[in-house]
Amino acid sequence: MANISVIGAGSWGTALALLLHKNGHQVTVWSVIEDEIEMLKKEHEHKDKLPGVRLPEEMAFTTDLEAAVKDKDVLVLAVPSPYTRSTSHNMAQYVQDGQVIVNVAKGVEENTLMTLSQIIEEEIPQAEVAVLSGPSHAEEVGRGMPTTIVVGAKRKATAEYLQNIFMNEVFRVYISPDVLGIELGAALKNVVALAAGIADGLGFGDNTKAALITRGISEIARLGIAMGGKAETFSGLTGIGDLIVTCASMHSRNRRAGILIGQGYTMEQAMAEVKMVVEGVYSAKAAMGLAGKYNVQLPIIEQVNAVLFEGQPAKQAVENLMLRDKKIENPLLPWEED
């Protein structure tokens, strides 16, 4: 049995806390929001973020960050990506040398273009940082629906340790050394999911969705490989797998926000309506920053940025994509000689 704290009491943090408790671990859930912790203590259910999923009496809830961090075997960092740096900074003074932190949020920091694990390593250099990602909606994990994910870590021993902690009969865990590829797939798929939602909001159909998913993973992989990620990662669970589920499901806050934008909402109005952090909005600008840094074309993500931040009509973005210069789908495939 491991002694584990989940730092962040949103839907994903709550679902993982329940999973870890069912696996026999001692679990504490931390949130900076006092009302949220009081609700969890009293109701043993996150009525706002994960309604209908009961939490056990044995689970501890606290707003005391020092108590949540000290002497724990594993820290699961589950705060929304915009708060990863500030939360890591506040945690740092309590983290012991070699303490394992598993980041489960998804995003890229806009001003530094750093992945979330890079941020944690910068703020908490004494920690050993790993990531957990894959096609895994909290609403389904919380209800015990079969799910597969990937744990990424630099050391195989750390990945295997976390694999044993998280894995059970409904939560299958693979391991990978490609931490960068995992994180880029996780962050950038949220931007493509916004595009998929916008297409849905415009009333387009399955053909459009398939095109966005297929060309979207091509963009993600192109940038990811240029940055040092591995091609195999983008064809796996944290690449195409996570992209499919985020583009297709109404559990996806990014797709839901995109639908509203396609229906005429502004980005701010859509985020207010969804009532959760829409991480693709925060990653969209960062993705274009990375595209410029690594000289990679990201036409879908570029058009999403134009809609979100430049006031471009969604229909115009689709037309811009459809009327781009003619292309070969895969330039590496050989042609017969004329």
Please state, in angstroms and as integers, the Cα–Cα distance from residue 102 to each residue in 65, 122, 138, 208, following that order: 16, 15, 16, 35
Q: Tell me how long the chain is.
A: 338
Distance CA 18, CA 26 (A): 10
Distance CA 164, CA 158 (A): 10
3-state secondary structure the chain: CCEEEEECCCHHHHHHHHHHHHCCCEEEEECCCHHHHHHHHHHCECCCCCCCCECCCCCEEECCHHHHHCCCCEEEECCCHHHHHHHHHHHHHHCCCCCEEEECCCCECCCCCCEHHHHHHHHCCCCEEEEEECCCCHHHHCCCCCEEEEEECCCHHHHHHHHHHHCECCEEEEEECCHHHHHHHHHHHHHHHHHHHHHHHCCCCHHHHHHHHHHHHHHHHHHHHHHCCCHHHHCCHHHHHHHHHHHHCCCCHHHHHHHHHHCCCCHHHHHHHHCCCCHHHHHHHHHHHHHHHHCCCCHHHHHHHHHHHCCCCHHHHHHHHHCCCCCCCCCCCCCCCC
- Residues marked active site are found at 189
